[in-house]
Amino acid sequence: MKYAALLVIASCVPDLDQRTSIVDRPMVLAIVAEPAEAKPGTSVTYQALVTSPMTLEWAYCTQPKPPTEDGAVSSACLDDPGLPIGTMPEDACMNFGPNPPGDGFRPRDPDPTGGFYQPIRVRGDAVITFGLQRISCDLANAPPDVVADYRARYPGQTIALHASWPADAAEAYVSYDLATVSLRDRRESLRVSFYATAGRFETDAAGVAEDDLATSIDDAWTAPAEAGTVTMWTVFRDSRGGASIATYSIAVQ
């Protein structure tokens, strides 16, 4: 998922041409975060698209927007020193997400996709721009089992899996056909099963029939939202009891 968000403070000078695609002054057109969604305490890199060279000053806003204010960002962020960018603030889900710091505070409302956002202020050459970095937070007011299921099913990066084998992996053999009282030349069918300690497979297992000459299958695995090490196994079986296994260690960041 790629994400670029931009809010620009409008000029006070009336302008009859309201086409936003026309650039006639220094502007920050977009702020791109990588990754697009980050958990508190994790590293993020940012890139700004500018219309002309300028020195930019970046900061995470620390003041939540009061309910009495319109707009996506609190006006206090204009003068607030903020925090250096690069590591998502540890209290991002408390200030801007569903985990309020204590009594007397209500959870923030998510956007239509269930997302919460950490505001970012960018200053440069008389330009002030605000970007919104999506935060990975837990659910608000949800039972523990639902929260656990949410963490397990929330998508991370999806990677393609390609399992292949030699053309002679499926051996030819002969069997006795009781119905026709005759011998029959056959070829082994093959099956690959996927297992992992976290994440989700598009298909848990796949295979080829005994009359299929394919030498590979494709699958996909979606990483979990939580960082850590995931162990993945593949088990390759033929229809006559043969098996082969492989183990992989995957670092999820």
Look at residue 54 and tell me whether its pLDDT is greater than 50.
yes
Query: What mean pLDDT do residues 86-114 have?
Result: 84
Give the pTM: 0.60
Look at residue 167 and tell me whether its pLDDT is greater than 60.
yes
DSSP per residue, the chain:
--EE--EEPPPSS--S---TT---S--EEEEEEESSEE-TT-B-EEEEEESS----EEEE--SPPPTT--SSS-GGGGT---B-SSB--TTHHHHHSS--SSTT--PPPP-TTS-EEEEEEEEETTEEEEEEEEE--PPSS--HHHHHHHHHHS---EEEEEEE--TTSS-EEEEEETTTTEEEEEE--EEEEEEESSSEES-SEEEE-TT----EEEEEEEPPSS-EEEEEEEEEEETTS-EEEEEEEEEE-
Domain with CATH 2.60.40 in the chain: 158-252
pLDDT of res. 20? 67
Distance CA 192, CA 174 (A): 23
Look at residue 16 and tell me whether its pLDDT is greater than 70.
no
pLDDT of res. 2? 45
Top mean-pLDDT range of 100-104, 115-119, 222-226: 115-119
Look at residue 3 and tell me whether its pLDDT is greater than 50.
no
pLDDT per position as a tens digit, 183-241: 999 999 999 999 999 888 989 999 999 989 999 999 999 888 777 899 999 999 999 99
pLDDT of res. 8? 43
pLDDT of res. 13? 42
pLDDT of res. 18? 55
**Residue 126 pLDDT class (50, 70, 90 cuts):** confident
Query: What mean pLDDT do residues 92-111 have?
Result: 81
Nearest to 172 by CA among 239, 245, 244, 243: 239
Domain 158-252 has what CATH class?
Answer: mainly beta
